[in-house]
Structure 1
């Protein structure tokens, strides 16, 4: 198969596009993990803060302290809601990048299949050509022997 086949250029471009899509997918996966870690940290922080308040139960605490506590917990809850949304956005982006990468991979495989089919047809044509030459040579040999 001649390397001048334009399909090789198409294959190279598809391989590069797939590699780029793979890098984008990896970046999206890392971003999703980062945001999930931040969410877990917020949730853990809230849990620790609630445990601290639980330890204060039965002790005399001022109304202002109690009010500040609830106000702070609301702020943390708001931050958690925002972070949940951020995680969902990152998940959507990661899914989009996965689909994009799969499409690029599918295109590359299709071009590889075309090239493989083309190579197989060329090989079969070459084998037929060789067989025809062998048959021709054999028939000439037979013809020469029978004329003697």
Structure 2
């Protein structure tokens, strides 16, 4: 029975680690996109609200309505500021996960390269052995023919 190469186990482990890192990256990318979408929604909401107020331009509005409008816009602006922080945090996390995935990918490729070099070396050794056996067989035939004469 052929001995199992320990590098195959290492390859399996590095491949699994890379897959996990890829899943974490995908999750971080989705979280980043969600944060960006929420930010865009808040900005659109603020814009719509401003347009709504603009439609009252030239009309008489009460001081309390005007005060409530500004207070609400201030709250939306605060929410946008918080969401900008969330987007930045999510982007940082996404970049970190991408670097982590690339690191795992490099490790897997390094193990694959080691296995390929090892296999190539084994093939070369096998070819040398075959050539040696062929040379030995040829020389034995040569000596047999010489003896028969």
TM range (shorter): over 0.9
Residue 141 of structure 2 corresponds to: 141
Distance 2:55 2:3 in 1: 75
TM-score by length of 2: 0.97
Deviation digits for residues 81-137 of structure 1 (CA, Å, limit 9, x no counterpart): 000000000000000000000000000000000000000000000000000000000
User: Separation in 2 of the partners of 1:137 and 1:3?
Assistant: 30
Q: Which residue in the other structure is 2:27 paired with?
A: 27
CA-based RMSD: 0.8
Point out 4+ residue stretches in structure 1 off by more than 2 angstroms: none
Pairs within 5 Å for 1:1-148: 2=2, 4-147=4-147, 148=149
Gaps of 5+ in 2: none
Q: 1:118 to 1:8 in 2, by over 3 A?
A: same
Structure 1 gap ranges (5+)? none
Question: How far is the alpha carbon of 1:3 from its aligned partner?
Answer: 5.7
How many residues align? The count is 147
TM-score normalized with structure 1 length: 0.97
